[in-house]
């Protein structure tokens, strides 16, 4: 495990940094034992509050955004030149303490869609930014935090905990398994979901389609609905302080047509060039993740 | 581009290091303009001779091999603790200067299979090891060298130069292309080959199958024969000086059954657990790359 190596003088900050580190370990355990439990939400809100408190002591550095219509900034610890990942100005809202209760109560649907989007984005990005600044070369901690967040939200919404592998191949062979991010099985004669979770996909998205293809092949089309959940596709050039979105829309169309069909692509910060694919041929179901809470019952009911 | 940063006193070594760097740039150009030309082979043999000369001044460090039945060592510059990638003792033969002529003459088939295997392995690994020691954190140079080597051998054997993308999607859409390592098109009513080239695949092998699936989907089954060419699947733990083979044979079976069928998997150093798949269900065509020269006419003739 990488260490939280930021040395600070003020005891309040020291306590927060230690909370972020210990809370992360506890989060992994809680999600493993019962992802859908409300105490996971409670811990997620505590981690978000602590991360936001830490970030409030940081400076916001404006970035040159090459993404049309979106503005981004990075956090940096005062006196350091280390930058956090890029944060979407419009989606980030540090004043969400009171709204965090909706997460604990499992009542995100009660928020207006725009507020829900900002709350979800802020929860996802705050911890990741704190980790970017407090750890060195650690991609795993933010990715695991994001997986835990999605694991909880899906498990609580569906009312079942996920598995992280699925049995494939029977016949004369020994049973084999396909490792995946999450599988949600709502029970006999009900829906099953294949839910890959990524902070970004870039050209690695081909794995998402290919895994779905294996499930379609082994279990039949429609047996597992594929739902990709992705934070963003931004990439920050730390030297030039410039943000771009790495998108391969033509590849997506090929993969969607010729490898496997996915049921949903949810983004916290939808890349413009993927949003266009919703009008393409065939139209692809790419949506803001906030929409999930409006359609979860429909998703669960349909086969 | 990363720089050749090794500082040496002896002028002979300085000249070789400079040859390796300049030769690499010339190799990329030559392959781009005419991959099948004999002067590419000449340059490949010069680079191999220079790399072997440089390596002869290095120390061989034995490694703990966790691969049953195979022994590996690394090269290291005397007085440094930087290690080259792992080298298979049985396949590496530094005394191949005279055999290199077979490469220049396009007559590798004249060598006995075991000699051909060792010659090919030595050509592929010598330059890569030199690059490992002379450059820092540069994965691209060895990978590109290996691509150039395979590009030349295939182009010369088939008598046609490769393309690196293939048109896909027609109908009402604008033409789209799929970027690939190599496509060899032997002409109307003749074979076409999709040839991904990797120094190692690990879990990224899913991309190979998924690209083949797109070609099967767009152009029909059998239109493009898929041939993976891979150097090895070894992984060196630099601290513990321990070699393992990273293999995912159960995943391979799933991908081969449910994503796409490949025509050949050629390895310079065949991983034991993939060799077993040739007896599996279905049997998978995994072979030593030296075999390519025996069956190339058959491959080209069949549709």
> Given this model, what pLDDT does residue A268 score?
98
Average pLDDT, chain B: 91
Cβ atoms of B159 and B36 closer than 8 Å: yes
**CB pairs A-B closer than 8 Å:** 69
Does B214 sit within 8 Å of A213, measured CB to CB?
A: no
- For residues A147 and A164, membership in a common domain is answered with no
Q: What is the CATH number of the domain that holds B217?
A: 3.40.91.80
Residues A167, A281 within the same domain? yes
Beta bridge partners of B288: B267
Q: Does A223 touch chain B (CB under 8 A)?
A: no
Whether B59 has a pLDDT exceeding 50, the answer reads yes
**Is the same domain home to B223 and B152?**
no
pLDDT band for position B8 (50/70/90)? very low
Domain assignment present for residue A6? The answer is no
* Helix ranges restricted to H, chain A: 11-34, 38-56, 100-104, 113-134, 140-158, 205-219, 249-258, 272-275, 292-301
Q: CA B182, CA B150: separation in Å to the nearest integer? A: 9
CB contact under 8 A, B254 and A209: no
What span, in angstroms and rounded, lies between the C-alpha atoms of B112 and B107? 11
pLDDT of B229 > 50? The answer is yes
The answer to whether residue A114 neighbours chain B at the CB level (below 8 Å) is no
pLDDT at A8: 47
Q: Which of B243, B212, B228 is nearest to B277 (CA)?
A: B228
pLDDT band at B6 (very low <50, low <70, confident <90, very high): low
Domain assignment of residue A145, yes or no:
yes
Of A173, A210, A218, the CB nearest to B281: A173
Q: Does residue A173 share a domain with residue A149?
A: no
| Structural domain of A16 | 11-156
Residues of B in contact with A211 (CB under 8 A): 206
Chain B partners of A178 at a C-beta cutoff of 8 Å? Answer: 251, 254
Using the Cβ of A37 and the Cβ atoms of chain B, whether some distance falls under 8 Å is answered with: no
How many domains does chain B contain in total? 2
- Per-position DSSP letters for B177-235, written without gaps between them: EEEEEEEEE--TTS-EEEE-EES--GGGHHHHHHHHHHHHHHH-TTSSEEEEEE---EE
Confidence of residue B303 (pLDDT cuts 50, 70, 90): low
Is B281 an 8 Å CB contact of chain A?
yes
Span of A10-14, A281-285, B136-140, B183-187 with lowest mean pLDDT: A10-14
Is pLDDT larger for residue A275 or for residue B11? Answer: A275
**B280 and B172, same structural domain?**
yes
Q: What percent of chain B has pLDDT over 90?
A: 78
- How far is Cα B214 from Cα B224, in angstroms, rounded to an integer? 10
Q: Which of A93, A122, A156 is the last residue of a domain?
A: A156
pLDDT tens digits along B73-118: 999 998 898 999 999 999 999 999 889 999 999 999 999 999 999 9
ipTM over 0.85: no
Task: Please state, as a whole number, how many other Cβ atoms lie within 10 Å of the Cβ of residue A123.
Answer: 24
Higher pLDDT, B48 or B139: B48
Residue A1 lies in a domain: no
- List chain A residues with pLDDT less than 70: 1-10, 169-175, 303
Q: What is the pLDDT of residue B1?
A: 44
Q: What is the pLDDT of residue A171?
A: 52
Q: Residue B2: inside a domain, yes or no?
A: no
> B221 and B99, same structural domain?
no
- Pick the residue from chain A with its C-alpha nearest to B167: A254
Indicate whether B34 and B59 sit together in one domain: yes
Record: contact B206-A209, CB cut-off 8 A: no
- Tell me the residues of chain A between 157 and 186 that have a Cβ less than 8 Å away from chain B: 168-169, 172-173, 176-178
Among B156, B182, B204, where does a domain finish?
B156
Instruction: Report the pLDDT value the prediction gives residue A169, as an integer from 0 to 100.
Output: 61
Q: Name the band, by pLDDT with cuts 50, 70 and 90, for residue B174.
A: low
- In percent, how much of chain B has pLDDT > 70? 94
Domain boundary among B123, B156, B189: B156
Whether residues B152 and B15 fall in one domain: yes
- Which DSSP string do the residues of A208-240 spell out, in sequence order? HHHHHHHHHHHH-TTSSEEEEEE---EEEETTT
Q: Does B210 touch chain A (CB under 8 A)?
A: yes
Cβ pair A288, A267 in contact under 8 A = yes
The pLDDT assigned to A76 comes to 97
Residue entry with tokens 């955004």: A65
Q: Give residue for tokens 């909370």.
A: A19
Which pLDDT does position A303 carry in this prediction?
61
Kindly tell me if the per-residue pLDDT of B3 is higher than 80. Answer: no
Do A164 and A152 fall into the same domain? Answer: no
pLDDT of residue A15: 87
Q: Give the pLDDT confidence score for residue A244 in this predicted structure.
A: 97
Top pLDDT among B138 and B260 is at B260
């Amino acid at each position: 495990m990488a260490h939280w190596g930021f040395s600070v003088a003020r005891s309040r900050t020291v306590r927060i940094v230690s909370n972020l580190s210990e809370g992360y370990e506890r989060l992994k355990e809680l999600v493993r034992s019962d992802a859908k439990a409300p105490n996971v939400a409670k811990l997620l809100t505590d981690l978000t509050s602590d991360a936001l408190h830490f970030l409030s002591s940081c400076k916001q550095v404006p970035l040159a955004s090459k993404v049309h219509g979106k503005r981004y900034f990075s956090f940096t610890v005062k006196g350091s030149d280390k930058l956090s990942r890029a944060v979407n100005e419009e989606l980030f809202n540090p004043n969400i303490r009171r709204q965090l209760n909706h997460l604990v109560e499992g009542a995100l649907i009660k928020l207006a869609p725009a507020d829900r989007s900002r709350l979800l984005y802020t929860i996802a990005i705050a911890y990741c930014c704190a980790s970017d600044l407090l750890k060195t070369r650690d991609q795993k901690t933010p990715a695991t935090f994001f997986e835990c967040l999605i694991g909880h939200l899906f498990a609580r919404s569906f009312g079942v905990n996920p598995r992280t592998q699925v049995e494939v191949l029977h016949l004369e062979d020994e049973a084999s398994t396909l490792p995946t991010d999450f599988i949600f099985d709502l029970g006999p004669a009900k829906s099953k979901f294949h839910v890959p979770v990524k902070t970004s996909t870039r050209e690695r998205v081909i794995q998402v389609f290919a895994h779905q293809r294996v499930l379609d092949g082994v279990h039949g089309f429609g047996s597992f609905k594929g739902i990709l959940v992705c934070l963003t596709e931004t990439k920050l050039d730390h030297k030039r302080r410039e943000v771009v979105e790495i998108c391969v829309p033509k590849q997506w169309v090929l993969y969607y047509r010729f490898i496997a069909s996915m049921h949903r692509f949810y983004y916290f910060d939808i890349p413009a060039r993927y949003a266009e694919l919703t009008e393409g041929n065939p139209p692809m179901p790419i949506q803001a993740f906030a929409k999930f809470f409006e359609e979860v019952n429909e998703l669960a009911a349909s086969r």
